[in-house]
Amino acid sequence: MRALRHLSLPLVLVALAACGREAPPPTGSVISGHENPLLAQWQTEFEVPPFDLIKNEHYLPAIREGMARHKQEIDSIVANPEPATFANTIEALERSGAPYARASRVFGAVTGANTNDTLQDVERTLAPEEAAHRDDILLNAGLYQRVKAVYDGRDSLGLNPEQLMLLEETNKQFVRSGAALPDSAKARLKEINKEIAELSQKFSENVLDETNAYDLHVTDTTDLGDLPAGLVELAAAEAKRRGHDAGWSVTLQRPSINPFLESSTNRALRKNIFDGYAMRGDNDNERDNKTILSRMAALRAERARLLGYATHAAYVLSDNMAETPERVMGLLDQVWRPALEVAKSERTDMQTLMNAEGVAGTLEGPDWRHYTERVRREKYALDQQALLPYFEVKAVRDGVFMVANKLYGLTFVERSDLPRWHPDQQVFEVKEADGSHLGVLYMDFFARPSKQGGAWMNELQEQSRLDGEKDPIVTTNFNFPAPTSEGVSLITFDDALTLAHECGHALHGLLSDVTYESLSGTNVARDFVEFGSQIMENWMEEPEVLRLYAKHYQTGEVIPDELVDKLQASATFNQGFITVEFVAAAYLDMAWHSLTEPVEKEARAFEKAEMDRIGLIPEIIPRYRSAYFSHIFAGGYSAGYYAYLWAEVLDKDAFQAFVEAGDLFDPATAKRLRDEILSKGGTRRGMELYRAFRGRDPSIEPLLKGRGLLK
């Protein structure tokens, strides 16, 4: 995921010490007098945020002051007596709000990765204020008049393609926000936006609180099954943290619950935690999200109508590569049918194994992950745990750096002297092949209660050169298991792909080479943005690349051929389940956002009706149930969860260009990928960029083949 527009963690002294280096104390940032560090000129190297000086109490006043200055700038654009021009209106808008954007980017990054009660309060206070600020700009009649005047005269202005794109996108943003509507409709839009912002904030707090409230306290060691030793140690520490004298606490964080579901042979405990996970936000308690999300869907339907669209999905998709809900549903249907059949045959295999082992009855949802691992061992002789030692987080990180080096010549130099928001965070200066500075990359790897779930990337500074060169500063965030007392964090192969994924987003931000910030890096259509991230995953799966980075954390031994072969042979195993849980969630998202009437639906019944319609089997639940579907109710992915699959069509097809070239690091193909797509940001439409790279439209075949869905 990516932040805000796209959603989705930090590094510690323990880990640094483990790689044989003591982290020197941060150099320390200098700010004059008693100025709020968020508003001051940053004296740090590369102008990175002075995290060591920024305290909880700085955010609210800085962001409010930023908004006030932004408003003044807008007022002076509107009051300009000169006729509207590209420079005095569009570029002036592009320059406006810089201190506000800078402070809120830092705030967004820190609250995502290292929040606390105070910061949550600030978020609650700011959500409606920021929504209102945005509306004040985008619904400002005088401002829109000037934008429209420039837009209407666009053919005679002699603008270059990037300027023309900026103009089109600026005008479109105003129209899509309601700037062309009558005043009564604008007033209602403002109310709707404010209420959605408050509900979304509450939704996300409820998910975090429901996740943290659950604790499966295990007291009998046999109930842990064959849980890896590192995770047993973490579970024991978690039990202490939660006030238990002894035993192990398993939590609803994915690195805790998933291995437990895979390992434990105690069906009752598996059911307890599975239900705990699936029922978050749906427990009819004070943290229930059902009414909140139904209200949000109804408000979005009402807003779409005001803006002239049949549904919220139609509104959202009109600004994406997919363009219409019909095209999204077409893609989902095309993948759903074969995937459901494959999932059913996976179920049969597991049911047979379960009964053969003497466990009576029918396989259920809480059994799926456990028997998946059993079948994986039986059929492919692949033990996931045997893989773990080859995927220590630093080895995988260096593997991703190596791929970026082979493709684009980039190098990554660790800079433990730069300020960080958490001691676990790692910071790297990214350099071009010739040694020149490209940007800064932060990596925050480990799960902790102050961090939201999942993985994501955000930008602290976007590349641009409107007023001198601004170099990109990007962050990547993950929820990998915290290092053991030896400083070791072993991650799964899936986690390794996640690491590559977020670094893919980071590269998209780092390699940006455009003039205007609004069109920079990952500022592209949502169903195109996952291309830059997902394409990186392809290299990490290739045997020749695995042999370069997957090395045993103790011995340094390269992953044995036997394990690589097994990984290859089982590559499409369980893809029925993975595809079905994903596509079911995508359908659910589309259902909530295809309401033609602004009516609040009863969430449980609504979800069940949609899952019955698509024929979802009861052993699988959607990857996100409505009440904790943060992508769509607390992130920027409403009517957009399909985007990962859409982008996978592109990335699987694009990777074939390297396969066809006969060299996974073919320099000409890599240069084309960088020049035609990754450096271009949003200066051209996604499909145009894709065609410029590939010379043709994408084919869905590589995706279906890759998932074992093509017979």
Of 9, 3, 1, the closest CA to residue 447 belongs to 9
- Minimum CB–partner distance for residue 643 and Zn ion (Å): 9
Out of 94, 346, 462, 502, the active site residue is 502
Q: Is the Cβ of residue 139 or residue 536 nearer to Zn ion in the bound state?
A: 536
H-type helices in 158-253, by residue range?
161-177, 183-213, 229-241
Q: Which residue is nearest to Zn ion (CB)?
A: 533
The neighbouring-strand residues paired with 551 are 558
Helix 56-79 and helix 117-138, axial crossing angle in degrees, nearest 10? 0
Q: Is the Cβ of residue 475 or residue 533 nearer to Zn ion in the bound state?
A: 533
- The contacts found for 343-349 with CB under 8 angstroms, 24 or more apart, are 343/576, 343/577, 343/579, 343/580, 343/617, 343/620, 344/576, 344/617, 345/576, 346/372, 346/375, 346/574, 346/576, 346/577, 347/617, 347/619, 349/375, 349/379
- Which DSSP state fits 308? T
Instruction: List interacting residues with Zn ion (CB under 5 A).
Output: 1, 530, 533
Of 706, 346, 680, 309, the closest CA to residue 537 belongs to 706
Q: Is the Cβ of residue 126 or residue 643 nearer to Zn ion in the bound state?
A: 643
- Minimum CB–partner distance for residue 330 and Zn ion (Å): 23
Q: Is the Cβ of residue 1 or residue 491 nearer to Zn ion in the bound state?
A: 1
Quickly list DSSP for 21-78. -PPPPP------TT--TTTSPP-SGGG---TTT--HHHHHHHHHHHHHHHHHHHHHHH
- Minimum CB–partner distance for residue 456 and Zn ion (Å): 7
- Minimum CB–partner distance for residue 505 and Zn ion (Å): 6
Q: Is the Cβ of residue 300 or residue 501 nearer to Zn ion in the bound state?
A: 501
The span from the CA of 87 to the CA of 100, in Å, is 21
Q: Is the Cβ of residue 1 or residue 634 nearer to Zn ion in the bound state?
A: 1
CA end-to-end span of the chain, whole Å?
31
Of 643, 698, 651, 705, the closest CA to residue 678 belongs to 651
- Minimum CB–partner distance for residue 8 and Zn ion (Å): 6
- The contacts found for 248-252 with CB under 8 angstroms, 24 or more apart, are 248/217, 248/218, 248/224, 249/215, 249/216, 249/217, 249/218, 250/215, 250/216, 250/218, 251/211, 251/212, 251/214, 251/215, 251/216, 252/211, 252/214, 252/276, 252/277, 252/280
Q: Is the Cβ of residue 533 or residue 669 nearer to Zn ion in the bound state?
A: 533
- Minimum CB–partner distance for residue 455 and Zn ion (Å): 8
Asked if 502 is an active-site residue, the reply is yes
Cβ-contact 615, 361 below 8 angstroms: no
- Minimum CB–partner distance for residue 491 and Zn ion (Å): 17
From residue 672, alpha-carbon distances to 403, 410, 438, 677 in Å are 16, 16, 19, 8
Quickly list DSSP for 242-260. TT-SSSEEE-SSHHHHHHH
Q: Is the Cβ of residue 5 or residue 134 nearer to Zn ion in the bound state?
A: 5
- Minimum CB–partner distance for residue 7 and Zn ion (Å): 8
* Residues marked as catalytic: 502
